[in-house]
Structure 1
């Protein structure tokens, strides 16, 4: 009986013990669930905070990294090609023989050395952006990711390096070395200005460099013996496609897609036919002016190219259109800042003055040709001129110096133009 009672009691105790343990487990489980919920909410809150504090989408950080990788692989065959050129007696280098200053086995060392100004300008810009950047708090000012600004500084440095390579033995064969990074830098200027207020809409690095490579490819084609008419037909088709797609997405404030839907293009076309339905009229008129001027230049160059040689000024065409479109966008940007009562500091206007003066005088000296790689060698010799600075540098060296200042000043304008917004709450900053 006792055994039975003990057993029963023991059973009861076990039951009670089990129930008590289950109750404790339930409480622990409930507490654990509550804690888990709190932890999840806390993690979500932290994740949201981190997301808000991120200054730029991650893909912007690839701009300067990809630029360095591409340049490393681009430089090796370029150096090899130039060494081959200078050591082959059958290849004629288009030097300014009236101002030829050889050194270290390089016949025109003075023309190579003057590219040092690009390296100084690019390095200075990178250092200035690095040491003047402020801590991002996610609440005040615009996004402060410096990736595109570092890329801009790198393009000036790389322009100096590859221009120096070109001037080791300047000719039509390696002329593209002298223009590649001018094209990339001009395009990156637009991206850098656009991402200030449209950080999530700016195209990624792969699309951007793919876009640049397309025009660099056409620049290469212009130096070949391709049929003139075929070349210009292809270019006008591609340029028209880029103009329509780019303008449509900029007007719609959407991220660029190289393969848009027919519906999207049709809706954009209907808006263009009826401008009164467009909400962002200032941007529409800026795009309209840019397209009219760009197409006028392209058509003029196409007609000139078909009548003469497509290779003479094609790189100037691409650079001219890209710089023109950027300047229109920059002036639109400044006008909208003024419209919304934002300040443009005095030193930014000083940079504008420096930019116009340096580019004005720079283009003046650029047009004073001392060689012409598209002429015959004997015709180019007739253009040779004596040195004009310290009996060492010619007018083209002056172009290097002044254009380096011009590039630095225009990039500094893009960087400093919104310096007044550093302490302004982000929610109060207008998007345009």
Structure 2
């Protein structure tokens, strides 16, 4: 007897197309399949179905149901179909299988639907992708369309199901059209948006908001089929964001050839993707408790015209500072030129120019510069100010250890620096050329560090932007997505361009320094004027370059790709350097010979940045204990160094010296020799100890901001002390410096207000961070953080101007009359 399967195979060859897989008997609707050598007969119930009518049925092993929906193309547009199915008694071992066949595609799923390998949903709703959008092309399709819904199961028992299908009439979402919808993990929804013909609408922003915190994916996909609308595949294409309460994606017209895209909403089975916390929710079983209600609206982004206006206004505002500076400089030049001419004329008639003494220190022999005119040739005596002439060759070979040719008693640092009352002249004994070389190292080191520091950040920006555009994962970057305007490869160009103030005002500050200390018209820097007036120290012409001309480009790169992996590296590290250099600048004003050299200063900054990296990556108990010890030791070491004017040494005998000093003080208590310094250091140590204890006890998550606050508090404390000591010493604060102090205080206060408006934060997940996103507040282009950039750049400029003008009242005061504090 010929085996049955051989007979069936023969029939398939003789009658191809009639016996290749299945055929229907016109009477009994039988389907015959060749399975492992024998034929199974499966009963198929064929039904012609209508839309908007629910159908109940049962299936089991050996029987299946087939529903056929037919519909016509209306107006040249094929409306999408949405299928809803459910089965309450289907089991994970014997699920009900649903297969939907269309002209150009097929889609299938099972009930119960498993998500995250632990949650099963007994109800599934899916939207069928319009047939014309399959990748086979945009060629015409049949005007009469059929959709086959095939339902089957391997369960030996009857399993009930419900089927419901409808044609979507509001599938397309228009501009400014707000939609409210309910989405669950097993019931994803998507709409189609088409760009209008208006050329001004080059991009749009899709905004979604919700009152609950269920985790959802907002995805933008091209209008190709199939649509990835399940949480296990929504990340495979397009651009997407995780969302709790709000999300926004800016979509550019140029990215889509057909000028249209799908907006897809997929609720996650758990909230882990949005919160990084895995919580098993029993209520999610069988689809209960994960229904998310939200609203969506599509709004146009600003036009190119408004884009350019916002950029132009920004540049114009900062150019206004240049205009004001130019006008003030011109008026000052005219006034100063007239005053200088009258001053020199008076000196020529009353002074003996044969032997003008420009500086002489009381109590020390031959210190200062004596310029003699003999035979038309100048002779300079004394090394301290001999090189203060602008024409002196500062590159001649000289060692930092060289000192003035003075008596041994006046030369010995241990004797000079232990005087009860010190003047700047006592601490300005090194040759001008030495100091110039020493302080030039600062700006060369700063330029070098800026370059090598910025290059890796640029590389990371390019890499992350490429990753963002390739993967479509906008959770990589932390923006204010409600006010993110892309340009080229930058996803938030406005956040980058708002850093322009640091650059423009920094260049202006450099120009003011050049005019003040290099230009022949500058006050007290003219060659003839140098004979009669003397700047405080050699600092301003050299160390002024030490001050960073602007906040380096790191912050702008940070906003080009603000990531939760690089918060400190990309934003606050240079702030440490700026604050530290400002403190060194203030200290050097009264201690020119004992200020830290560039190598030691930047080595200390390197250690600080290393600690910052550790604090971000390893914010554990052991780290906070280590940081507390380092903080306290650094505080005590610097306090001792400052109190003893650099005559304190760290060696093996330090503990013995400290012990003997404490023992002597306890036996014979005496008033501190340097009371002002002692008061400053005690207050500073108490404040720093409080900050250290606060860090250990609370362990703030944002370690970068905590470390930056330590620098800012110490800087403000030192500036306040310096101003108080100036007034206490009988010195004055001129109106210009007072004007900058008032401006800096006001602008810093406004800047901090906007800084504290948390539009996004890397401390949270991307979805949680977006809960703080807000719309643009200025020119439809800049948000609160951009305003912080503008104000902080301006306030930083005013702060640098304070340091530049604070001691202007001493420009003509000899150094032996300027007290040290």
Q: Please, what TM-score do these two structures have when normalized by structure 1? A: 0.82
Alpha-carbon distance between aligned partners in 2 of 1:275 and 1:171, rounded to the nearest angstrom: 56
- Measured after TM superposition, the shift of residue 269 of structure 1 is 5.3
Higher strand share: 2
* TM superposition shift of 1:74: 1.5
Aligned residue among 472, 478, 482 for 1:94: 478
Matching residue within 677, 685, 709 for 1:291: 685
1:382-421 equivalences under 5 Å are: 382-421=771-810
Moved more, 67-76 or 261-270: 261-270
Query: Residue 132 of structure 1 corresponds to which residue in structure 2?
Result: 516
C-alpha distance after superposition, 1:219-268 (max 9, x if no partner): 111221x2611110110111111000000111112168666850554466
Task: Report deviation, 1:171.
Answer: 1.1
Asked whether the equivalents of residues 741 and 799 of structure 2 are also in contact (C-alpha less than 8 Å), the reply is: yes
Partner of 1:18 in structure 2? none
Change in CA separation of 1:243 and 1:270 when aligned onto 2, cut-off 3 Å: farther
- 1:80 maps onto 2:464 in alignment: no
Which of these residues, 556, 577, 594, is aligned with residue 184 of structure 1? 577
Q: Which residue, 213, 231, 244 being the options, matches 2:636? A: 244
Identify if the C-alpha distance between structure 1 residues 423 and 82 changes in structure 2 by more than 3 Å, giving closer, same or farther: same
Matches within 5 A, 1:2-401: 45=381, 49-50=386-387, 54=432, 57=435, 58-88=437-467, 89=471, 92-133=476-517, 134-135=524-525, 140-145=534-539, 146-154=541-549, 156-158=550-552, 161-175=553-567, 176-224=569-617, 226=618, 228-254=620-646, 261-262=653-654, 263=656, 265-266=658-659, 276-305=670-699, 310=700, 312-401=701-790
Residue 3 of structure 1 corresponds to: none
* Higher mean displacement: 212-221 or 131-140: 131-140
CA RMSD of aligned residues (A): 2.5
Instruction: Report how far residue 153 of structure 1 moved.
Output: 3.2
Residue matched to 2:232: none
Q: Scaled by the length of structure 2, what TM-score is found?
A: 0.44
Give me the whole-angstrom Cα distance separating, in 1, the residues matched to 2:516 and 2:664.
42
Check the 8 A contact 2:551/2:574 in 1, yes or no: no
Partner of residue 217, structure 2: none
1:71-116: CA deviations, max 9, x gaps? Answer: 2112222211121111113561011110011112211000000000
Task: Report if aligned partners of 2:536, 2:814 keep a CA contact under 8 Å in 1.
Answer: no
Bigger proportion of residues as helix: 1
Please state whether the residue corresponding to 1:196 is helix, strand or coil: helix
The superposition leaves residues 92-150 of structure 1 with CA deviations (integer Å, 9 ceiling, x where unpaired) of 10111100111122110000000001112211211111211243669723113334322
Q: Structure 2 unaligned segments of length 5 or more: list them.
A: 1-377, 388-403, 405-428, 518-523
Taking a change above 3 Å as real, the CA distance of residues 267 and 150 of structure 1, as seen in their structure-2 partners, is farther
Larger radius of gyration: 2
Contact 1:55 1:144 in 2 (8 A): no
Counterpart contact for 1:354–1:409, Cα < 8 Å: yes
Instruction: Name the CA distance, whole Å, in 2 between partners of 1:412 and 1:270.
Output: 46
- Contact map agreement 2:440 2:545 (CA 8 A) in 1: no
C-alpha deviations, 1:1-28, integer Å up to 9, x for none? xxxxxxxxxxxxxxxxxxxxxxxxxxxx
Shift of 1:45: 4.6
Per-residue CA deviations over 1:387-410 (Å, capped at 9, x if unaligned) read: 001111001011111111221112
With CA pairs under 8 Å and 6+ residues apart, which has the higher RCO, 1 or 2?
1
**CA separation in 1, counterparts of 2:705 and 2:763?**
14
| CA deviation after TM superposition for structure 1 residue 287, in Å | 1.4
Provide closer, same or farther for how the CA distance between residues 227 and 427 of structure 1 changes in structure 2, counting only shifts above 3 A.
closer
